[in-house]
Structure 1
Amino acid sequence: MKSFKPAAITAVMVLITTILLVPSQAQAHGVSMFPGSRTFLCWQDGLRDNGQIIPYNPACAAAVAQSGTTPLYNWFAVLRSDGAGRTTGFIPDGQICSGGTGGPYDFSAYNAVRSDWPLTHLTSGANIQMRHSNWAQHPGAFNYYITKNGWNPNAPLKWSDLEPFGSVTNPPASGGAGGLNYYYWNTQLPSGKSGRHLIFTHWIRSDSNENFYSCSDVVFDGGNGEVTGVGPGGQSPGPDPTITPTTPAGDCTATWKATDTGWAGHFQGEVTVKNTGAGSINGWTVKWTYSGGQGFDGAPWNGVLSGQPPNVAVKNATYNGQLAPNATTTFGFNATGSVPNPAPTLTCTSP
């Protein structure tokens, strides 16, 4: 499958661009990052090295043509300050994905009935880790819904099309507010689902009336979180996607850096994985060897630990293993011990 563009070109560009464009009165934000909401994946699709947003995906491009790029620079701000947990009768049918029209930005274009929105591939009945941006952290509940079997994807989304399949209150977060940190929780997807569906997530703050809304386009085709329809050549092929060739083993690189060294006996590291081959890769593994007794303080984020120190191996997560040529992704970790000096030599292989 084609890959999705990395969550950010550089952390600095993402943070600077977003902060400059977010008005001060909108302090609390968040939409679904996995399965990716329309605004989050369209932001990923269009974000270029220089900070501009120029979509590849035709649905994202149509949304930008209708309402400009400001909504995508504020991809995390699909909100209503007067939501107060209300659903049907408050937000009209056909405007569910935008939370109506009373928010700080015009997200109405993201209600469009189209079959080419970025798409996350899932397996019915599987256990997944849902992730929701915590651009600003607040207590509250996340209620999530899925379209009923037999819903019409070629008509505007109605409340009667949705059925709840879970809720969580005050889940843990991957890190502090801002940037690309997120709340996360495990849930089991409904069984008996096939083909195209839509997952709707409603974040209801308990300390104010502010609410947040996310529409995530998914297809139940036996997938493991792969995303299509994002990035150059990433047009979503629909319920029966073709599989693009993978590059030979070794057609990826991994670059190490220590990102936080200010606490004695611990440090934080980040590894950037890049596809250096001519075709898309379908998974990666990064390995290195510690020589100074270093270890891990908890599990890595955006990666799965498959080999323990001193011989470390980290594999891709379900949602970031697909990389197009020249695309990158990162994973991070908290470590015990001193920062390796010199830095370890990393190897990266793909299946």
Structure 2
Amino acid sequence: MRKRLAALVLVAATTGAVLVHTGGTAVAHGSMVWPGSRTYLCYEDGRAGGGGGDLNPTNPACVAAVAQGGKQPLWDWFGNLISNAAGRHREIVPDGSLCGPTTKFAAYNLARADWPATQVQANSTVTFRYNAWAPHPGTWEQYVTKDGYDPTKPLKWSDLESVPFDKVTNPPLANGEYAWQARLPNKTGRHIIYSLWQRSDSPEAFYSCSDVVFGGGTGTPDTRPPSTPGTPVASAVTSSSVRLEWPASTDDQGVTSYRVYRGDQVVATSATNSVTVSGLSPNTDYSFTVVATDAAGNASTASPGVAVRTTDGGGAGGSCTVTYARPSTWSGGFTANVTVSNSGTEAIRAWQLVWDFPAGQQLTQAWSSTITVADGKATAKGVSYNADLAPGGTASFGFNATTTSAAPANPTSFSLNGSACAVR
């Protein structure tokens, strides 16, 4: 066993592997998406500036954060955590590090007044939305900075009001998000809403700073959601994308964004009433709906659905290539390395690679992907930093498995998002 563990460590070290899934319970991940946390809004700013490929933020504070800490924290915007916090937040997070309590996210502590901010109304009732990248039970506490807070100075614990203005345990979960209503405090001007999520099934805790600008409060909360968007119309359908347009929603305070759903999964967001959804599979039926949101976080009911069938992708193996290798095999197990390449002319978003996983084999560990095995099929999904494949792009991952076969056979066929791949 010691030899095997040593071999696994050596594989990870020599391949630069990141062990992200072990077949057990996944670690929790998430962050505030309304009002957006610094990491989330900088990620969205980077997506807009990157034109659908790389992340290239244009907001000055986000640019400064990338210059200091690189782009990986943006790809992992949902992972601002301390694994062994156990409620000891004020003990283990020093002043000046509240927004990024670990080295990886330290750049998001920069004391600046130009971080992306969400406009909110004082004293209003809003709907907080928190991404549930990996859901778990726990308690959320929301604090706000005191009157006179200076955003050009490092954030200290003493800058926060002494008690949270909002606290919730195990809020409702739907469509990949926690959502709950809260009444905002009576503040004016620029502030930070500081959110702590302490899991109840683990000592792990998550931290986020949401920059907000409070407008004058009337004392009347905005609880009215936008009207239901009109039925989307599909156009420019290709083998992997479709353009959707829909009649706009209306709202007494103004619509701020739209979310496009495929089932219960958000596949695109837009500030206007049109968007192009990418990463689809050739010759496949889809149905999309649209939800509008306003500045208070209220969400409309979903629009009627639109059915779309993508075009033929040009034949099996025409848009992807897979290389599968077993660099290490031992009695009762093996290591496999897989590289998937997008040989098409369009980006593939949220890739999923499927292959046969014979009886007698059992997954024990994976890196640079999440892999699930069911009904004799293995499905690998990209993680935050490699989930999208640009034209000509590649993603590499690996896994360890046990086997009852003395000479396990390599898979002979793979499909990427439903399209068969060439195998090398």
TM-score, normalised via structure 1 length: 0.58
Q: Deviations over 1:203-238 (max 9, x none)?
A: 000000110001000001259xxxxxxxxxxxxxxx
Paired with 1:147 and 1:341, the residues of 2 have a C-alpha distance of 47
Q: 2:193 aligns with which of 191, 199, 209?
A: 199
SS of aligned partner of 2:150: coil
Q: Deviations over 1:57-109 (max 9, x none)?
A: 111011111111111000000001011112212100000001244xxxx1000
Matching residue of 2:165: 165
Q: CA deviation at 1:49?
A: 3.4
Q: CA deviation at 1:255?
A: 3.3
Is the radius of gyration larger for structure 1 or structure 2?
2
Paired with 1:29 and 1:168, the residues of 2 have a C-alpha distance of 18
SS of aligned partner of 1:55: coil
1:22–1:170 Cα change, 3 Å = farther
Structure 2 counterparts to residues 199-278 of structure 1, below 5 A? 199-222=193-216, 254-255=232-233, 272-273=244-245
SS of aligned partner of 1:215: strand
Q: CA deviation at 1:151?
A: 2.0
1:173–1:342 Cα change, 3 Å = closer
Q: CA deviation at 1:153?
A: 2.0
Paired with 1:95 and 1:114, the residues of 2 have a C-alpha distance of 14
8 Å Cα contact 1:45-1:56 kept in structure 2: yes
1:83–1:152 Cα change, 3 Å = same
Q: 2:116 aligns with which of 115, 118, 121?
A: 118
Paired with 2:52 and 2:308, the residues of 1 have a C-alpha distance of 32
Paired with 1:150 and 1:52, the residues of 2 have a C-alpha distance of 38
Once the two structures are overlaid, the 10-residue window that deviates more, 48-57 or 73-82, is 48-57
1:273–1:41 Cα change, 3 Å = farther
8 Å Cα contact 2:42-2:74 kept in structure 1: yes
- Tell which has more relative contact order, 1 or 2 (C-alpha 8 A, sep 6+): 1
SS of aligned partner of 1:65: helix
Q: CA deviation at 1:166?
A: 1.1
Paired with 1:182 and 1:55, the residues of 2 have a C-alpha distance of 24
Paired with 1:199 and 1:86, the residues of 2 have a C-alpha distance of 19
Structure 2 counterparts to residues 1-351 of structure 1, below 5 A? 24=20, 27-47=27-47, 48-101=50-103, 106-163=104-161, 164-175=164-175, 181-191=176-186, 193-222=187-216, 254-255=232-233, 272-273=244-245, 283=255, 316-319=292-295, 333=302
1:155–1:72 Cα change, 3 Å = same
Q: Please identify which structure carries the higher strand content.
A: 2
Matching residue of 1:348: none
1:285–1:155 Cα change, 3 Å = closer
1:38 counterpart letter in structure 2: R
8 Å Cα contact 1:285-1:316 kept in structure 2: yes
Percent identity of equivalent pairs: 45
Structure 1 runs not aligned, ≥5 long:
1-20, 176-180, 224-251, 258-269, 277-281, 287-301, 304-313, 322-329, 344-351
8 Å Cα contact 1:92-1:100 kept in structure 2: no
Q: CA deviation at 1:162?
A: 0.8
Q: For the aligned residues, what is the CA RMSD? A: 4.0
**Number of residue equivalences:** 235
1:332–1:40 Cα change, 3 Å = farther
